[in-house]
C-alpha cells in the first residue's frame, strides 16, 4: 500500500475497513469490482459437479446477503459486479431493493443466449448522475458482454470547483472469456479491442473531449498476459499496482482468484486512463499485440531470435520472409486455421505492420523491430493522432490520481488464498481515486 500512511499500513490486518476513511472522504471517488460467483456455477460437490449452489436456496441467499452487507458497509461510489445471477428474479430483486435503498442507481446486463449470469453496475446518487449507458454484446462463442456508463460527477470537489472544468467519466464493466486453452488468448484480446473501439466510437459520436476512463472487471488474465500489455500500450494503468508502486515483474505479490483448476492468480483489475495520457493509435497497439502473440508462440517452441527468423523464411531463397512463408508458419504455430485463430484480415494487418517499407517482403531488420521487439518503450509517448485531427485549443477537465487500493480478503495481497474465505472464488478490489484538474484538448 502507500508507504507513508499509518492508516494504509493497516490494510493487511483489517481488510477493506482500512480504507474506510478514504472512501468516506467527500473529495474522493471510490470504485469496487467483484466477481461474486453466480450460484449456477458454484459447485457444492466434487463427486457430483452438477450439484450447484443454485439448487439450494438457503445457500445462495445467505451468501449473497453477506456480499451485499460487505458492499453496503464499504459504500463505494461505483460498484461493478460480474457473474451476477440475472436469471433469478428473487436475487435480482434483493440487490435492487438493498442497493436502491442505499442510494444507488443500478444497471444490469445479461450475457447473450440466456447463459443466466451477467453484469451489474451501480453508481451512488450522491456522487454521480448517469448521462447515458450502452450495452456491448460481443456475440462470440463465450457470450460475453460489457457495459459502458457515461456519468457526471455531482460532488463539488474542491480541486475542481470551476464551471469550465468538465466533471464526466466513462465507466466500463466486463468479464472476459476464461482461457481454457492457449487458442482462446486471441479471442480475449479481441474482446478488449472491441471494448476500446466501442469507447472510442462513443466519444466521437457524442463529440466528447477526452475523459477519464475506468475499465473494471474480471479480465481472466494476469500481468504477464497479452491483454495486460495491450492495455498498457494504450496508456492505461493498473490502479492496484499504482497504489502499491508495483512493477510489471511483481505479478506474484498479489492474487485475486482461485479458479476451478485450483490455481491462484491476479485477474481482477480497475484500469485507469487519464485524459492527458499520451497513447498509441488503437490500430497500432492492436497490430503490436498480434505481433506479441506471434513472438510468444515462437518462443514457446524454443526459438531464439535468429532461429525464429529462419523458421519464418523457410520457403524463401533469399534472406527475407515472404507472405506465403509467413502464413505457412502461422499455421504451424496454430495461430491460423481454426475458429479461434487469426482471420485473413488480421494476418494481413500483422504483415503490413511488419513490412515497413512496403516492398512485399520482411527482412531481418523489419522482423526484429516489428515482431521480435514488440511492446518496447519506443513510441510509448506517441500522441494519439486521432485526437490531433479534430482538436482546437484546450479546456480543463477532471482526471484521477490513485490514492489507495485494497484487496479483500487481506491474505491475497501477499499472494495467498485463505481456505476459510467463502464469499466467492474472487477477491474484492476497491480503489480510491482523488480527482485532479488537468488540461485536455477541445473538440471543435
Task: For residue range 55-76, list pLDDT tens digits in order.
Answer: 999 999 999 999 999 999 999 9
391 plus 339 within the same structural domain: no
In a domain, residue 379? The reply is: no
> CA 116, 118, 122 angle in degrees (round to 5)?
140
Average the pLDDT over 74-87 and give the result: 97
Average the pLDDT over 292-318 and give the result: 85
Does the structure show a pLDDT above 80 at 170?
yes
| pLDDT, tens digit (0-9, with 9 covering 90-100), for 323-369 | 999 999 999 888 887 777 888 988 998 899 899 999 999 999 999 98
How far is Cα 318 from Cα 364, in angstroms, rounded to an integer? Answer: 11
424 plus 314 within the same structural domain: no
How far is Cα 313 from Cα 377, in angstroms, rounded to an integer? Answer: 27
> CA 266, 54, 36 angle in degrees (round to 5)?
25
367 plus 391 within the same structural domain: no
Higher-pLDDT residue of 330 and 7 is 330
Burial of 359 (0-12, 13-18, 19+ CB in 10 A): exposed
271 plus 301 within the same structural domain: no
DSSP string, 52-120: BGGG-HHHHHHHHHHHHHHHHHH--SEEEEEEE-TT-HHHHHHHHHHHHHTTEEEEEEEPTTT-S-EEE
In a domain, residue 101? The reply is: yes
119 plus 245 within the same structural domain: yes
Higher-pLDDT residue of 178 and 135 is 135
In a domain, residue 378? The reply is: no
| pLDDT, tens digit (0-9, with 9 covering 90-100), for 242-279 | 999 998 888 889 999 998 788 899 999 999 999 987 67
| pLDDT, tens digit (0-9, with 9 covering 90-100), for 19-59 | 665 677 778 899 999 999 999 999 998 888 889 999 999 99
Domain boundary among 326, 348, 372: 372
Q: Could you give the number of structural domains in the chain?
A: 2
Top-confidence range, 154-163, 264-273, 380-389:
264-273
Domain boundary among 318, 337, 372: 372
| pLDDT, tens digit (0-9, with 9 covering 90-100), for 102-154 | 999 999 999 999 999 999 999 999 999 999 999 999 988 789 999 999 999 98
103 plus 216 within the same structural domain: yes
267 plus 400 within the same structural domain: yes
Which residue intervals of 355-406 are DSSP H helices? 364-367, 385-388
Query: What is the overall mean pLDDT for the chain?
Result: 85
In a domain, residue 241? The reply is: yes
In a domain, residue 380? The reply is: no
236 plus 299 within the same structural domain: no
pLDDT band at 160 (very low <50, low <70, confident <90, very high): low
Q: Any idea which of 119-123, 138-142, 385-389, 404-408 has the lowest mean pLDDT? A: 385-389
Domain boundary among 372, 406, 424: 372
3-class state of residue 389 by DSSP: coil
Q: What is the CATH number of the domain that holds 131?
A: 3.60.10.10
In a domain, residue 230? The reply is: yes
Q: Which of 127, 98, 93 is nearest to 108 (CA)?
A: 93
Q: Specify the pLDDT at position 158.
A: 47
Q: Specify the pLDDT at position 339.
A: 76
Structural domain boundaries enclosing 244:
6-280+387-443
Q: Specify the pLDDT at position 396.
A: 66
Top-confidence range, 87-101, 215-229, 332-346:
87-101
Q: Specify the pLDDT at position 248.
A: 84
Q: Specify the pLDDT at position 378.
A: 37
* Maximum Cα–Cα distance across the chain: 73
Where do we find the cell 515462437?
298
How far is Cα 245 from Cα 75, in angstroms, rounded to an integer? Answer: 25
For 121, list phi and psi in degrees, rounded to 5: -120, 130
Where do we find the cell 495481497?
413
pTM over cut 0.95: no
In a domain, residue 377? The reply is: no
Contact 233, 377 (CB under 8 A): no
C-alpha cell of residue 273: 486512463
Percent of the chain with pLDDT over 70: 85
242 plus 166 within the same structural domain: yes
For 300, list phi and psi in degrees, rounded to 5: -65, -30
439 plus 305 within the same structural domain: no
C-alpha cell of residue 429: 478490489
> CA 408, 412, 414 angle in degrees (round to 5)?
130
Q: Specify the pLDDT at position 165.
A: 64
Average the pLDDT over 279-300 and give the result: 85
In a domain, residue 1? The reply is: no
Q: Specify the pLDDT at position 14.
A: 39
392 plus 339 within the same structural domain: no
pLDDT band at 392 (very low <50, low <70, confident <90, very high): very low
Q: Specify the pLDDT at position 102.
A: 97
Q: Specify the pLDDT at position 393.
A: 41
15 plus 67 within the same structural domain: yes
Beta bridge partners of 165: 396
Q: What is the CATH number of the domain that holds 307?
A: 1.10.238.10
Amino acid at each position: 500500500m502507500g508507504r507513508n500512511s499509518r492508516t494504509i499500513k493497516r490494510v493487511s490486518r483489517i481488510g477493506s475497513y482500512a480504507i474506510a476513511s478514504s472512501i468516506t472522504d467527500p473529495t474522493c471517488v471510490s470504485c469496487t469490482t467483484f466477481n461474486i460467483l453466480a450460484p449456477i456455477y458454484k459447485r457444492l460437490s466434487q463427486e457430483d459437479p452438477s450439484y450447484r449452489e443454485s439448487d439450494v436456496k438457503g445457500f445462495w441467499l445467505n451468501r449473497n446477503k453477506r456480499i451485499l452487507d460487505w458492499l453496503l458497509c464499504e459504500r463505494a461510489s461505483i460498484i461493478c459486479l460480474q457473474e451476477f445471477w440475472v436469471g433469478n428474479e428473487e436475487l435480482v430483486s434483493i440487490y435492487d431493493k438493498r442497493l436502491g435503498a442505499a442510494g444507488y442507481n443500478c444497471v444490469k446486463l445479461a450475457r447473450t443466449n440466456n447463459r443466466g449470469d451477467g453484469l451489474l453496475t451501480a453508481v451512488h446518487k450522491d456522487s454521480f448522475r448517469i448521462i447515458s449507458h450502452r450495452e456491448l454484446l460481443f456475440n462470440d462463442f463465450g457470450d460475453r458482454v460489457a457495459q459502458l456508463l457515461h456519468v457526471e460527477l455531482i460532488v463539488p470537489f474542491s480541486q475542481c470547483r470551476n464551471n469550465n472544468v468538465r466533471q464526466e467519466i466513462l465507466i466500463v464493466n466486463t468479464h472476459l472469456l476464461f482461457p481454457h486453452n492457449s487458442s482462446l488468448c486471441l479471442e480475449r484480446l479481441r474482446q478488449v479491442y472491441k471494448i476500446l473501439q466501442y469507447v472510442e466510437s462513443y466519444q466521437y459520436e457524442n463529440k466528447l473531449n477526452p475523459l477519464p476512463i475506468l475499465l473494471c472487471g474480471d479480465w481472466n488474465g494476469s500481468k504477464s498476459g497479452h491483454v495486460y500489455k495491450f492495455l498498457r500500450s494504450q496508456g492505461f494503468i493498473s490502479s492496484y499496482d499504482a497504489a502499491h508502486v508495483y512493477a510489471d515483474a511483481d505479478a506474484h505479490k498479489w492474487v485475486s482468484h482461485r479458479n476451478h483448476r485450483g490455481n491462484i492468480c491476479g485477474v481482477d483489475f480497475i484500469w485507469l486512463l487519464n485524459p492527458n495520457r499520451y497513447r498509441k493509435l488503437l490500430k497500432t497497439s492492436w497490430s503490436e499485440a498480434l505481433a506479441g502473440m506471434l513472438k510468444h508462440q515462437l518462443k514457446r517452441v524454443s526459438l531464439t531470435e535468429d532461429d525464429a527468423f529462419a523458421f519464418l523464411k523457410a520457403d524463401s531463397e533469399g534472406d527475407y520472409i515472404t507472405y506465403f512463408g509467413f502464413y505457412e508458419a502461422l499455421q504451424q504455430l496454430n495461430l491460423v486455421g481454426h475458429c479461434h485463430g487469426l482471420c485473413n484480415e488480421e494476418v494481413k494487418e500483422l504483415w503490413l505492420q511488419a513490412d515497413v517499407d512496403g516492398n512485399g517482403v520482411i527482412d531481418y531488420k523489419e522482423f526484429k523491430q516489428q515482431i521480435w521487439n514488440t511492446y518496447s518503450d519506443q513510441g510509448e509517448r506517441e500522441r494519439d493522432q486521432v485526437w490531433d485531427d479534430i482538436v482546437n485549443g484546450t479546456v480543463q477537465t477532471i482526471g484521477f490520481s490513485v490514492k489507495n487500493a485494497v484487496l479483500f480478503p487481506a491474505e491475497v495481497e501477499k499472494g495467498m488464498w485463505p481456505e476459510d474465505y467463502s464469499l466467492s472464488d474472487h477477491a474484492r478490489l476497491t480503489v480510491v481515486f482523488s480527482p485532479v484538474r488537468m488540461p485536455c484538448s477541445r473538440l471543435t
